[in-house]
Structure 1
Amino acid sequence: MVIQQTLYFDPESEKCFPRELPVRQIPILETKKAEVMSIDPYDPCPCNSGKKYKFCCHSIGDEVSKISHLHETHQTATALQLLDRLKKKHPEQPLSYITEAQILMAERRFEDALVPLNECLEREPDHPAAHSLLATSSFLAHGYKRSQKTIYTALQKCAAVDVSLATPLAISIAIALQMRGYYLAAREHFALAMRVASQEYQQNLFMNLLEFDGDDQIPYQFRGVHVLERCPLEDSEQQATFEKAQRLANLGCYRSSASLFKQLAEATGLVTLWKNAAFCYAWATDEVKAAELFHQAAGIESDFAEAVELETLAQLLDLNNTGEVVNSIEKVFEVESLSRFLTQMDLHPQVLRGNVPPAQDPEETTPAAYYQILNSELDADSRGEGITLETVPVVIGDIDVFDADRQLGNPAIVRLYAYEGDQLEKTEQIFEAALGKEGKKECGLQEVEPDSEEAGTPLSPIPTEQWPLFFRWSFPQKMPILKRRELEAEQWKKLLSETWSETPLAGLDGKTPAEAAKEDSLKVALTAAAYVLDAQTLSLGHFLDFSELDPELGISELAPLAVDASSHFNTCSSMTQNRIPVKELSDPQLMYIFNRALLIRHPRFLYDVLIEVLSRDECIKEVDLDRVYTTLTEICHKKNQREEMLSWIHKGQENAQAQPEHAFESELQWKMRELSFRLEDTSDPGLSDFMKGIWDNYGKKMPQIREYLKAFAQAFDLDLPWIKESSLLDTGDLAGNVSSEGIWSPGEAAPEADSGSGSKLWLPGQS
Structure 2
Amino acid sequence: MAIDQYSPCPCGSGKKLKFCCSDLAHEIQKIEKLVSGEQPHAALKHVEHLLDKQPERASLLDLKASIEMGLDQLEDAQSTIQVYLLTHPDNPSAYGQAAIMAAAKGETAAAVGALQEALDRVPDRQMPQRVFEAIGAVGHALLITGDLIAARGHLILYAGMSPDEDNRAIDLLLRMNLQGGLPLLLRDTLYLHELSDQPSTDQPPWSAVFEEAGQLARRGLWRRAEAEYVKLAEQAKQHPDVAYNLAVVRGWLGDAAQFASGMHHFAQLATTAAGAPTDEAVEAEALAQLVDPDLDEPKLETVRVTYPVGDDDLAAERLAAHKQTEHYELDPQSLGEAAHPRESYVLLDRPVPSTGVDLAIEDAPNVLAFLSLYGKRTDRDAQIELTTDRGEHFQEVETLVVDILGDACQAQSDTEVVAEKPAAEEALSWRWRLPDDTPSAHRRALLAKRRQHAILEDWVAAPRGALDGKSPLEAANDEAARLPLLGSVLIVEQAAADPSEFDLFAQLRDKLNLPGHDPVTCEQEQLNQLPLVRLTRLELSGLGDLQLQKLLNRTVMGGANLATLRVAEELVGRDTVEEGVDLASAYRQLIRAEPAPDRALEWVRKATKWTEASGESAAEWALLELELQIERSDAEGLQQSLNHIREKHINEAGVAEAVYKLLYSAGLVPPEEMQASQHPTALPQESQAGGLWTPGGEAAAAAPAQSDPAQAKSAIWTP
TM range, normalised to the smaller chain? Answer: 0.7 to 0.9
Partner SS for 2:86: helix
Match of 1:290 among 237, 247, 259: 259
Match of 2:533 among 559, 563, 575: 575
Distance change >3 Å, CA 75–CA 582, structure 1 → 2: closer
2:192 paired with 1:228: yes
In 1, the alpha carbon distance for the partners of 2:138 and 2:343 equals 36
Partner SS for 1:515: helix
- Offset at residue 271 of structure 1 (A): 0.8
In 2, the alpha carbon distance for the partners of 1:609 and 1:70 equals 49
**Corresponding residue for 2:286?**
312
**Corresponding residue for 1:260?**
228
8 Å Cα contact 2:423-2:463 kept in structure 1: no
Question: What are the superposed Cα offsets for residues 49-77 of structure 1, whole Å, 9 maximum, x if unpaired?
Answer: 4353575263485488369738966774x
8 Å Cα contact 2:561-2:593 kept in structure 1: yes
- Offset at residue 194 of structure 1 (A): 0.5
**Corresponding residue for 2:146?**
181
In 1, the alpha carbon distance for the partners of 2:94 and 2:165 equals 22
**Corresponding residue for 2:243?**
274
Distance change >3 Å, CA 118–CA 316, structure 1 → 2: same
8 Å Cα contact 1:265-1:271 kept in structure 2: no
Question: What are the superposed Cα offsets for residues 288-320 of structure 1, whole Å, 9 maximum, x if unpaired?
Answer: 222222222222223332322222222223379
Distance change >3 Å, CA 424–CA 520, structure 1 → 2: closer
- Offset at residue 274 of structure 1 (A): 0.6
In 1, the alpha carbon distance for the partners of 2:121 and 2:604 equals 56
Question: What are the superposed Cα offsets for residues 568-618 of structure 1, whole Å, 9 maximum, x if unpaired?
Answer: 312222234444211232333333322222333434433332232123234
Map 1:695-706; keep pairs closer than 5 Å. 696-698=643-645, 701=650
8 Å Cα contact 2:545-2:577 kept in structure 1: yes
8 Å Cα contact 2:440-2:632 kept in structure 1: no
2:148 paired with 1:193: no
Map 1:511-522; keep pairs closer than 5 Å. 511-522=470-481
Match of 1:607 among 524, 544, 565: 565
Partner SS for 2:109: coil
- 5+ residue gaps, structure 2, are 273-277, 375-383, 651-655, 690-698, 704-708, 711-719
Map 1:402-413; keep pairs closer than 5 Å. none
- Offset at residue 191 of structure 1 (A): 0.6
8 Å Cα contact 2:149-2:251 kept in structure 1: yes
8 Å Cα contact 1:305-1:559 kept in structure 2: no
Question: What are the superposed Cα offsets for residues 423-482 of structure 1, whole Å, 9 maximum, x if unpaired?
Answer: 899889999999999899xxxxx99x99xxxxxx9x8x6322222112122223222223
**Corresponding residue for 1:395?**
367
Q: CA RMSD in A?
A: 5.3
8 Å Cα contact 2:552-2:568 kept in structure 1: yes
2:73 paired with 1:116: no
Question: What are the superposed Cα offsets for residues 67-124 of structure 1, whole Å, 9 maximum, x if unpaired?
Answer: 9738966774x76566445423221323332232112211333343121122123333
The structure, 1 or 2, with the larger RCO (C-alpha pairs under 8 Å, 6+ apart) is 2
8 Å Cα contact 1:327-1:420 kept in structure 2: yes
2:139 paired with 1:166: no
Amino acid at match of 2:550: Y
Distance change >3 Å, CA 47–CA 506, structure 1 → 2: same
In 2, the alpha carbon distance for the partners of 1:678 and 1:378 equals 25
2:454 paired with 1:481: no
Distance change >3 Å, CA 352–CA 97, structure 1 → 2: farther
Match of 2:91 among 107, 112, 127: 127
- Offset at residue 136 of structure 1 (A): 0.9
8 Å Cα contact 2:256-2:291 kept in structure 1: yes
In 2, the alpha carbon distance for the partners of 1:587 and 1:486 equals 35
Partner SS for 1:482: helix
Match of 1:151 among 97, 115, 133: 115
Amino acid at match of 1:373: V
8 Å Cα contact 1:373-1:398 kept in structure 2: yes
8 Å Cα contact 1:537-1:544 kept in structure 2: no
Amino acid at match of 1:481: S
Partner SS for 2:225: helix
Distance change >3 Å, CA 316–CA 751, structure 1 → 2: closer
In 2, the alpha carbon distance for the partners of 1:118 and 1:704 equals 56
Amino acid at match of 2:181: Q
Distance change >3 Å, CA 123–CA 643, structure 1 → 2: closer
2:422 paired with 1:463: yes
8 Å Cα contact 2:604-2:624 kept in structure 1: no
**Corresponding residue for 2:618?**
663
Q: How many aligned positions are there?
A: 660
8 Å Cα contact 1:212-1:223 kept in structure 2: yes
- Offset at residue 531 of structure 1 (A): 0.5
8 Å Cα contact 2:263-2:285 kept in structure 1: yes
**Corresponding residue for 1:494?**
453
8 Å Cα contact 1:117-1:134 kept in structure 2: yes
8 Å Cα contact 1:312-1:528 kept in structure 2: yes
Amino acid at match of 1:693: Q
Match of 2:552 among 591, 594, 614: 594
Partner SS for 1:373: strand
Distance change >3 Å, CA 663–CA 739, structure 1 → 2: farther
Amino acid at match of 1:667: A
Distance change >3 Å, CA 486–CA 575, structure 1 → 2: closer
The normalised TM-score by structure 1 is 0.70
Partner SS for 1:302: coil
Distance change >3 Å, CA 249–CA 349, structure 1 → 2: farther
In 2, the alpha carbon distance for the partners of 1:620 and 1:415 equals 65
In 1, the alpha carbon distance for the partners of 2:46 and 2:226 equals 45
**Corresponding residue for 2:219?**
251
Question: What are the superposed Cα offsets for residues 105-150 of structure 1, whole Å, 9 maximum, x if unpaired?
Answer: 1133334312112212333333333321111102323512234321
Partner SS for 1:475: coil
**Corresponding residue for 1:673?**
628
Amino acid at match of 2:346: I
Distance change >3 Å, CA 587–CA 359, structure 1 → 2: farther
Amino acid at match of 2:228: L
Amino acid at match of 1:118: Q
Question: What are the superposed Cα offsets for residues 676-696 of structure 1, whole Å, 9 maximum, x if unpaired?
Answer: 3263xxxxxxx64x4553454
- Offset at residue 227 of structure 1 (A): 0.8
8 Å Cα contact 2:325-2:348 kept in structure 1: no
Map 1:536-575; keep pairs closer than 5 Å. 536=495, 545-549=504-508, 551-563=510-522, 567-575=525-533
8 Å Cα contact 1:590-1:613 kept in structure 2: yes
**Corresponding residue for 1:58?**
23
**Corresponding residue for 2:696?**
none
Partner SS for 1:561: coil
- Offset at residue 323 of structure 1 (A): 5.5
Distance change >3 Å, CA 500–CA 226, structure 1 → 2: same
Could you tell me the percent identity over the aligned residues?
22
**Corresponding residue for 2:695?**
none
- 5+ residue gaps, structure 1, are 1-31, 403-413, 441-445, 451-456, 680-686, 716-737
Match of 1:506 among 452, 457, 465: 465
8 Å Cα contact 2:8-2:129 kept in structure 1: no
Question: What are the superposed Cα offsets for residues 708-761 of structure 1, whole Å, 9 maximum, x if unpaired?
Answer: 88998999xxxxxxxxxxxxxxxxxxxxxx99599x99x8856999989xxxx9
